[in-house]
Amino acid sequence: EPGLGPSAMAQAGALPSEEPVPQAQPASDLPAEVCEEALNTGPNSSSGLAAASFRTAKYLPHEWHQNNSDLYHKAFTGCEQAEHGRAQAKELAKHAAATAHRTQQDTTAALGQRLRDIRFWKTELQREIEDLDAETNLLAAQKLRLERALDATEVPYAIATDNLQCRERRQPPDLVSDEVERELLKEVELIRSVQELLRRALVEAANQMRLNRDHKEVCEMDWSDKVETYIIDNKCGRYRNQSTNIQFHPSSVKSEESASTPKAWAKFSYDNVYKAEQEKQASISLRALIDSILHDVSEDLKRQCAIVNEAFAKRCKELNDAKYNLEYHLKKILKEIGDKEASIAALKQAIRDKEGPMKVAQTRLYDRSFRPNIELCRDEAQFRLISEAEELTESIESLKKKLLESEESLRNLEDIRMNLEKEIAVKTNSIFIDRQKCMAHRRRYPAVFKLAGY
């Protein structure tokens, strides 16, 4: 560059941050001094005592020349030093500008990387927020299914308890602890167990939904902070030296004591995402468990309902068979009663029919007892009359005895008829209770999809 000395050119590559080294001035030829002979200095000169006061404190000519020479030398040295200082100042300004530009580029790149990191965690948090929100909605739907299924179990429970209460109105001897009653008791116990299980599942679902919302809120707060930070850092990354909204903030150079480290910052978001993912997986597992519970519960209730219905059908068949047999025997008993009554009537008529011969025989014997004297003879006729009377008496006694037996048998038949009719009435009542009351009521049993909460 014009105007730079060789020493300045030699030092052009030095860093401006280093302390400048004093440069030695090169030897140069000074202009020759012109020594003029002093005038009026001799003994014969005109300068005498009269001019002595004008020579006081005067410099000698060589001193004058030396002073000028010193001034020249200082001026040259000053120019050299100023020229060297200008070169160093220019190089320092150039280096400072390059350093400032490079540092600003590095800072802008660091802000860009920071924006990418923030965007990454913001995206992860937003994904977890959306997943947790969707998962909470799905879990809420499962919770609604649980509530519907729990409500649906009230109908089977009412049906089973009503069946047990209705069957308590059966009359002896049909008031028996049969298979139907045992299966009904199993059904009631099963429904109670199912209701307790569904209530516990409802509590678990409510707790999991609360945890989902809590972690979603944590992620939303972190996401909100990152959105705000992204806006700030994005604005900072767009600042340029020519921006009009930049100004000095000397107090902002110091570091904040409460500021976090990059490792703690990343770990905070990682922990939030990790915990949210854990809760999401726990919610998914709980939904699968609820779905399995509802499926198993509906199948168990429907299976037990089918078992009870089958027991009812079997019991009704037994009752119908018993009633048919009772009616068959009642028919035979009624026929036998009719025959027995006819037999009794015949026996009574037979007894009445013996009254005439008995009267004849006894009248004959009575009249023959009035035969006179020797005529009162025990002849053959007398013996036959006596024998006839005895035979008639014996026959009447046998008929009366048989009549008593027949009447006793008739009374037994009547008792059997009454018992049969009573038992038929009992069976009819039992059939009415089991078929018309219980089985008809059980037709209101909910379907499987309703028990499953749909």
Structure confidence at residue 423 (pLDDT): 94
Taking the C-alpha atoms of residue 416 and residue 418, their distance in angstroms, rounded to an integer, is 5
CA proximity to 278, closest of 328, 325, 212, 222: 212
Structure confidence at residue 46 (pLDDT): 47
Taking the C-alpha atoms of residue 2 and residue 87, their distance in angstroms, rounded to an integer, is 11
With the C-alpha atoms ordered 322, 328, 332, 338, is the resulting torsion angle positive or negative? Answer: positive
Query: What pTM did the predictor assign?
Result: 0.69
The half-sphere exposure of 363 on its side-chain side, counting CA atoms within 13 A, is 6
**Tens digit of pLDDT per residue, the chain (454 long)?**
333 343 433 333 333 444 444 444 444 444 544 444 444 455 544 445 555 555 556 778 888 899 999 999 999 999 999 999 999 999 999 999 999 889 989 999 999 999 999 999 999 999 999 999 999 999 999 999 999 999 999 999 999 999 999 999 999 998 999 999 999 999 999 999 999 999 999 999 999 999 999 999 999 999 999 999 999 999 988 888 888 888 888 877 776 677 888 899 999 999 999 999 999 999 999 999 999 999 999 999 999 999 999 999 999 999 999 999 999 999 999 999 999 999 999 999 999 998 899 899 889 889 888 989 888 888 888 899 899 999 999 999 999 999 999 999 999 999 999 999 999 999 999 999 999 999 999 999 888 888 888 8
Structure confidence at residue 51 (pLDDT): 53
Residues of 42-67 as b/e, b for ≥16 C-beta within 10 angstroms? Answer: eeeeeeeeeeeeeeeeeeeeeeebee
* 99-239+263-314: CATH number: 1.20.1270
User: Tokens standing for 330?
Assistant: 């009642």
Taking the C-alpha atoms of residue 423 and residue 425, their distance in angstroms, rounded to an integer, is 5
Structure confidence at residue 54 (pLDDT): 55
Domain ranges of the chain: 99-239+263-314, 330-369+377-450
Q: Exposed, middle or buried by CB within 10 Å (0-12, 13-18, 19+), for 277?
A: middle
Taking the C-alpha atoms of residue 111 and residue 87, their distance in angstroms, rounded to an integer, is 35
Residues in the chain: 454
Residues 6+ apart with CB under 8 A from 379: none
Structure confidence at residue 20 (pLDDT): 43
Question: SS3 of 111, please?
Answer: helix
| Phi, psi at 263, each rounded to 5° | -65, -45
Structure confidence at residue 128 (pLDDT): 95
The owner of tokens 């030695």 is 24
Taking the C-alpha atoms of residue 295 and residue 422, their distance in angstroms, rounded to an integer, is 48
Identify how many contiguous H helices and E strands the chain contains and give both numbers.
Answer: 8, 0
CA proximity to 311, closest of 143, 117, 179: 179
CB-based contact 269:124 (threshold 8 Å): yes
User: Tokens standing for 68?
Assistant: 């000028």
Single-letter residue type at 210: R
Residues of 98-131 as b/e, b for ≥16 C-beta within 10 angstroms? Answer: eeeeeeeeeeeeebeebbebbeebbebbeebbeb
Structure confidence at residue 449 (pLDDT): 84
The owner of tokens 């923030």 is 118
Virtual CA dihedral for 396, 400, 402, 403, nearest 10 degrees? 130
Cis peptide before 26 (omega within 30 of 0): no
Chain CA centroid to CA 410, Å: 76
Identify the DSSP state of 255: P
Single-letter residue type at 16: P
Taking the C-alpha atoms of residue 272 and residue 118, their distance in angstroms, rounded to an integer, is 14
Structure confidence at residue 375 (pLDDT): 84
Taking the C-alpha atoms of residue 276 and residue 128, their distance in angstroms, rounded to an integer, is 7
Taking the C-alpha atoms of residue 191 and residue 343, their distance in angstroms, rounded to an integer, is 62
Taking the C-alpha atoms of residue 421 and residue 429, their distance in angstroms, rounded to an integer, is 12
Query: What does the DSSP assignment read for 55-110?
Result: GTTPPPHHHHHHHHHHHHHHHHHHHHHHHHHHHHHHHHHHHHHHHHHHHHHHHHHH
